[in-house]
Amino acid sequence: MRNSFVSRVPVVIVGACIAVAVALVSAQAPSYRAPRTADGKPNFNGIWQAINSANYDIEAHAAAPSPVLELGAAGAIPGGLGIVEGGTLPYRPEALTKRNENRANRLKLDPEVKCYLPGVPRATYMPFPFQIIQSQKHIMLIHEYASAVRTIYMADQTEAPADSWMGWSNGRWEGESLVVDTKGFNDLSWFDRSGNFHSDALHVVERFTARSADTLNYEATIEDPKVFTRPFKISMPLYRRVEPNAQILEFRCVEFVEDLLYGHLRKQPSQ
Amino acid sequence: MINTKTTKRTKATKRVGLLAPFMTLMIFVTSVMFVSAQNPAYKTPRTPDGQPDLQGFWSNATYTPLERPDNVTKEFYTPEEALAAEKTAAARENAQTEPGTTADVHYDFTQFGLDRSQATLARSLRTSLIVDPKNGKLPAITEEGKKILAARSEEAKKLGGRWDSAQANQLDDRCIIMAGPGPPMMDAAYNSNYQIVQAPGYVMILTEMIHDARIIPLDGRPQPPAAVRQWMGISRGRWEGDTLVIETTNFNGKNPFRGSTENMKVVERLRRASDDTIEYNFTVEDRSMWVRPWSAEAVMRKTMGPLFEHACHEGNYGLYNTLVGARLDEQKARESATKKDSK
């Protein structure tokens, strides 16, 4: 008995060593130190894009057919494991009913179909790149989709002067992270194409943290007591568009939706 | 019915006698305002990464026309003449909502900031923004240009009347693009506000209407292939001393600037002349439209931030409602025609 106890000691020690090593390695990922700007802040300048299917549905979902028959497989919905911590959104019962109605009428109601501004956090994971232009006083998030723009005020911070689609963002540095507090939303944008929605009580706190030279961790805590029973968290990596000629192009979609929105009001040839 | 605006104006006229000394002071103040802060000793501030610093909120709201008025021959006004020209232009602008008219009932331009009376004016003593040709006018149109203009007007006719479809309306009424972003960047009649933010390798110019951000790379990269054409073209920039030089090509030609085509090339020069002034000069070259390039000199004046979200398309009830109104009018006309027939 004694012998076998002694013989086990090194096994335990080796096991402990491995555990410590694993702990150290996993602790290293979040402690990646981003390159600095000239004024000493983590440098997030660049063109970034999410690679996931959250814009279809932020909750976990299986692949599904296209909502537009003519588009066949080209318009079909790819599956996704979801970006919501815990898997499902904590809707209030009446809000869940509304979400399901939204979903049933998504082609009529989704603001993206009408080329409306995407809101937050949806802008971040639309299937389009966005560019961060980082200065001391203002950090700009310039989205390709619908030329949606967010100004993050790092100085001269105020309350939202009025409700808006993209909200009013004040930012601060917390070590390696850029923390962005956004309020002052209207109740018109959605979280995805599946009808997940919010009210004008939406409050989003986002954290951008570099995880390597070409990836960021993006997480957001979303609070909206009119729609959800508790705050919830979403998270995803963002990837740098590393093509040397990468740039934000115009996606001025208003022109693309005029026939959809106003076509029925076109003058008919006189009978 | 007493019209308050008219009453105020009459009272104001009576008080002029008392105001004479004040007016003299105003003219003095104005002359100071018009003389641009040409300080050769001005040292352009730097961003932390060493670029000349153009950052902040700027306005290019102006009453100075692009082309010199026909009755003006000189290049510069005196400060008094400039103030008079400004007043005339402002009065003409406000006449659009003359008291007692339908337009005035709809909304008051001044009250809703739809004129320049509440704007930070980027004043200049120039009689026109165009400085070359010397006569302050656009150059002659080429033979090709005449054909292009004729073809455009044929295309416009095909669209029918303004209320026949969304597409028959102007680009700004459709919330597609306004005059502000250009390039070249021009006064947009109201909200002529810009925000400049710089990061290493980039200058970003955000135009309030319609939240159009132009991100200008400074790394000398080439223009993309001609197949990539955009409303605002594609801009490439570089620093020449303290002057930001931006070259823009690859326009889609769907938003002609004073007649320009997709072959337009715009070269803009921005230089900070003082803490509250950017000199903004540009040259337009489009051999499909004009016999020679032409140049203009304008000013951007520091203004109060921040910029607000101009969600134009999202709130475009105007376009929707006018189309609905036009279809209802037609329906009414058809109904009354049917009634007449049955009588």
Structure confidence at residue B18 (pLDDT): 46
Whether residue A133 lies within 8 A of chain B, CB to CB, comes out as: yes
Chain A residue numbers with beta carbons less than 8 Å from the beta carbon of B324 are: 265
Q: Would you tell me which residues 179-208 of chain A have a C-beta closer than 8 angstroms to some C-beta of chain B?
A: 188
**Average model confidence (pLDDT) for chain A?**
91
Give the model's pLDDT for residue A1: 39
pLDDT of residue B96: 66
Q: To 10 degrees, the CA torsion angle through B310, B313, B316, B322?
A: 140
Q: How far apart are CA B279 and CA B264, in angstroms?
A: 22
Residues of chain B positioned with their CB less than 8 A from the CB of A35: none
Question: Number of helices (H) and strands (E), helices first, in chain B?
Answer: 6, 10
pLDDT at B90: 85
**Residue A23 confidence (pLDDT):** 46
Q: Give how far B27 is from chain A: nearest CA, Å.
A: 35
Tell whether A249 is within 8 A of chain B (Cβ): yes
Is A165 an interface residue toward B (CB < 8 Å)? yes
CB A238 within 8 A of CB A209: no
Q: Which residues of chain B does A148 touch, with a Cβ-Cβ cutoff of 8 Å?
A: 211
Q: With CB atoms and an 8 Å threshold, state whether A266 touches B212.
A: no
DSSP β-ladder status, A149-153 and A168-174: parallel
Instruction: Look at residue B24 in the predicted model and tell me its pLDDT.
Output: 52
Residue B153 has pLDDT above 70, yes or no: yes
Beta strand B56-59 with A177-183 is unpaired
Q: Which of B234, B227, B226 lies closest to A248 in space, CA to CA?
A: B234
In a domain, A15, yes or no: no
Nearest CB partner across the interface for A254, out of B174, B217, B221: B174
Distance to chain A for B168, nearest Cα, Å = 10
pLDDT attached to residue B93: 79
* Continuous H helices in chain A: 2-28, 93-104, 106-109, 122-125, 258-262
User: Which residues in chain A touch residue B49, judged by CB atoms under 8 angstroms apart?
Assistant: 37-38
Nearest to A56 by CA among A84, A74, A78, A88: A78
Q: Where residue B12 falls among pLDDT bands split at 50, 70, 90? A: very low
H or E stretch at A175: none
The verdict on residue A52 lying in a domain is yes
Q: Which residue has the higher pLDDT, B293 or A24?
A: B293
| Residue A26 counted as domain residue | no
Give the mutation candidate from B162, B235, B309, B317 for the A interface (greatest A CB count, under 10 A). Answer: B309
Residue B70 reports pLDDT greater than 80: yes
Contact B309 A117 (CB under 8 A): yes
Give the mean pLDDT of chain B: 88
| Cβ pair B311:A117 closer than 8 A | yes
Which pTM does this prediction carry?
A: 0.88
Asked if residue A8 lies in contact with residue A14, where contact means CB atoms within 8 angstroms, the answer is no
Look at chain A and report how many structural domains it folds into.
Answer: 1
Residue A131 sits at the chain B interface (C-beta within 8 Å): yes
**SS3 label, residue B37:** coil
Residues of A in contact with B164 (CB under 8 A): 266-267
Per-residue pLDDT of A216-257, as tens digits, reads: 999 999 999 999 999 999 999 999 999 999 999 999 999 999
Six-digit token string for B4: 């308050």
How many other C-beta atoms lie within 10 A of the C-beta of residue B245? 17
pLDDT at A269: 81
Contact B221 A267 (CB under 8 A): no
pLDDT of amino acid B83: 93
**Residue A258: which pLDDT band, with cuts at 50, 70 and 90?**
very high
Give domain status of residue A17, yes or no: no
Residue of chain A nearest B318, judged by CA positions: A262
Domain that holds residue A112: 46-243+251-263
CA angle B90, B94, B96 (to 5 degrees): 130
CA angle B145, B148, B151 (to 5 degrees): 150
Banded pLDDT at A5 (limits 50, 70, 90): very low
A140 vs B: CB within 8 A: yes
CB contact, 8 Å: A25 with chain B? no
What number is the average pLDDT over the span B229-235? 98
Residue ranges of A 32-71 with Cβ closer than 8 A to chain B: 37-39, 45
Contacts of B221 in chain A (CB under 8 A): 244-245
| Domain assignment present for A36 | no
Q: Which residues contact B134 (CB under 8 A, 6 or more apart)?
A: B75
Q: Is the peptide bond before A132 cis (omega within 30 degrees of 0)?
A: no
How much is the pLDDT for B118? 78
Give SS3 for B273: strand
d(CA B250, CA B239): 21
* pLDDT tops 80 at residue B308: yes
Q: Is the pLDDT of residue A56 over 60?
A: yes
pLDDT per residue over A14-38, tens digit each? 545 455 444 444 444 558 999 999 9
Radius of gyration of chain A from its Cα atoms, rounded to whole angstroms: 23
* Closest Cβ opposite residue B176 in set A45, A116, A255: A255
Closest of A9, A40, A221 to residue A121, by C-alpha: A221
Rounded Cα–Cα distance for residues A198 and A134 (Å): 29
Instruction: Inform me whether the pLDDT recorded for B25 exceeds 70.
Output: no
B228·A249 Cβ contact <8 A: yes
> Between chains, do B213 and A116 touch, taking CB under 8 Å as contact?
no
The CATH code of domain B47-64+131-302 reads 2.40.128.20
Q: How confident is the model at residue B251 (pLDDT cuts 50, 70, 90)?
A: very high
| Least Cα separation, residue B224 to chain A (angstroms) | 9
Structural domain contains residue A35: no
Q: Per the CB < 8 Å rule, is A258 touching B174?
A: yes
pLDDT range class, residue A109, cuts 50, 70, 90: very high
Q: Which two tokens stand for residue A196?
A: 């997940």
* Contact between B200 and A151 using a beta-carbon 8 Å cutoff: no
A269 has a chain B CB within 8 A of its CB: no
In a domain, A269, yes or no: no
Task: Report CB contact under 8 Å: B215, A133.
Answer: yes
Q: What's the average model confidence in pLDDT over A99-104?
A: 98
In this predicted model, what pLDDT tens digit does every residue of A176-204 receive, in sequence order?
A: 999 999 999 999 999 999 999 999 999 99
Q: What percent of chain A has pLDDT over 70?
A: 88
Answer yes or no: do A39 and B167 touch at CB < 8 A: no
Angle, helix B16-34 to helix B4-14, in steps of 10 degrees: 90
How much is the ipTM here? 0.88
Buried b / exposed e over A73-111, threshold 16 CB at 10 Å, is eeeebeebebbbeeeebebeeebeeebeebbeebeeebb
CA distances from B315 to A120, A177, B5, B309, B311 (A): 18, 35, 30, 12, 6
**Residues in chain A, total:** 271
The reply to whether residue B50 touches residue A38, judged by beta carbons under 8 angstroms, is yes
Interval B28-56: pLDDT, tens: 555 556 655 457 789 999 999 999 999 99
| pLDDT given for residue A28 in this prediction | 44
A175 found inside a domain: yes
Q: For the residues A62-90, what does the mean pLDDT come to?
A: 96
DSSP state for residue B254 in the 8-state scheme: S
B206:A140 CB<8 A: yes
- Interval A128-166: pLDDT, tens: 999 999 999 999 999 999 999 999 999 999 999 999 999
- pLDDT of residue B19 exceeding 60, the answer is no
Reference A240, options A34, A36, A80, A51; nearest CA is A51
Res B103 pLDDT > 80: no
Tally C-beta pairs within 8 A across A and B.
125
